[in-house]
Amino acid sequence: MSVFVDETTKVVVQGVSPSSQGLYHGLRNRAYGTQVVAGTNPKRGGDVVEGIPVFASVAEAVAETGANASFISVPPRFAAEAIVEAAEAGVPFVVCITEGIPAHDEARVYNLLVRDFPGTRLLGPNCPGIISAGKCNIGITSGDIALPGGPVGLVSRSGTVFYQALYELTQKGIGQTTGVGIGGDPVPGTSFTDVLAAFEADPETRAVLMIGEIGGSAEEQAADFIKDHMTKPVVAYIAGVTAPPGRKMGHAGAIISGTHGTAKAKMEALAAAGVVVAQNPTEAGEKMAGVVRDLG
């Protein structure tokens, strides 16, 4: 099985126009086999762009097509309201890849979803999206690097390392159930623990590869969850081992202060929780290969 999305998922792409990034990525997702059933643009309702029917609002798209997932790739100043529009339309799963959304907008939308729209899960923002290998791809991940068939679920804060980790597994003939990029911003809609819980509940996911990075405490929280709730083996890699204290590296959330948020602290917490900790992405793939062999 996969988590969050599968071959039955119907996607509405918010912000479709002939030259939009949403259309570009939406067409790539459709070419992978994803059911891209609609697009939205308040100025183009009634149009058909590259075979995708365009509606003036997400609510209209949902009513006409039964869309149950949204893909948002719009400029930062429009992204927060696009997420809210999808939630108001009752879309249960929203993927937002937009980078550069102000942190106060992210916090406002996150709390609004928790309070008023508990039936809507947001993935992102500033994330590569999600790929259910061979079934559904929402976001910017290349479908060529994913291998269907399980048994490994993958969750990552880093987009670039996410791609490498998928490829490392595929090169070793290790299939994936789902790859989930949660994004590296300070206020992600979906956390490590959310995804770990989904993988723990999925019978076809038999092991998990987790990619963390410096900054914040999400990995330590994940370590606590793994120790208390996970029965499946977890392999982890933390990016940013050589990052100097106080320096932001890459993502807005990847900043360390003193000993808080360091790669060393995260690796120690994960190891103490029974996680197999790797020193680099290639080693993570090698260690996961060993885990899969042991699973039989």
pLDDT tens digits, 120-142 = 999 999 999 999 999 999 999 99
Average pLDDT over residues 58-87: 97
**pLDDT tens per residue, range 5-35:** 999 999 999 999 998 999 999 999 999 999 9
- The two tokens of residue 179 are 């790859």
Arithmetic mean of pLDDT, 282-296? 96
Q: What is the pLDDT of residue 252?
A: 52
Q: Which of 285, 11, 243, 273 is nearest to 152 (CA)?
A: 285
- Read off the DSSP letter of residue 125: S
d(CA 197, CA 15): 32
Q: Check residue 267 and give its pLDDT.
A: 96
Q: In terms of Cα–Cα distance, which of 230, 228, 235 is closest to 267?
A: 235
Q: Is the pLDDT of residue 260 over 90?
A: no
Q: Is the pLDDT of residue 248 over 60?
A: no
Q: Which residues are catalytic?
A: 251
154 forms beta bridges with 179, 209
Report pLDDT for 255. Answer: 53
Between 249 and 281, residue with greater pLDDT: 281
Amino acid at 227: K
In the chain, the percentage of residues whose pLDDT exceeds 90 is 87
Cβ atoms of 127 and 97 within 8 Å: the answer is yes
Report residue 152 CA to chain centroid gap: 15
Instruction: Centre a 10 Å sphere on the Cβ of residue 203 and count the other Cβ atoms it contains.
Output: 8
- Cβ atoms of residues 109 and 84 within 8 Å: yes
Position 244 scores a pLDDT of 62
Residue 46 has pLDDT above 60, yes or no: yes
| pLDDT of 1 higher than 90 | no
Reply yes or no on whether the pLDDT at 259 is more than 90. no
Domains of the chain as residue ranges with CATH: 10-123 (3.40.50.720), 142-295 (3.40.50.261)
pLDDT at residue 240 in the model = 75
pLDDT for residue 222? 98
Mean pLDDT of the 49-56 span = 97
Q: Compute the mean pLDDT over every residue in the chain, rounded to the nearest whole number.
A: 93
pLDDT, mean of residues 250-277: 78
Query: Is residue 273's pLDDT more than 60?
Result: yes
Confidence (pLDDT) at 176: 98
pLDDT band at 77 (very low <50, low <70, confident <90, very high): very high
Token output for 7: 């071959």
Residue 243: what pLDDT? 61
pLDDT digits (tens, 9 = 90+) for 204-238: 999 999 999 988 889 999 999 999 999 999 999 99
What is the structure's pLDDT at 181?
A: 98
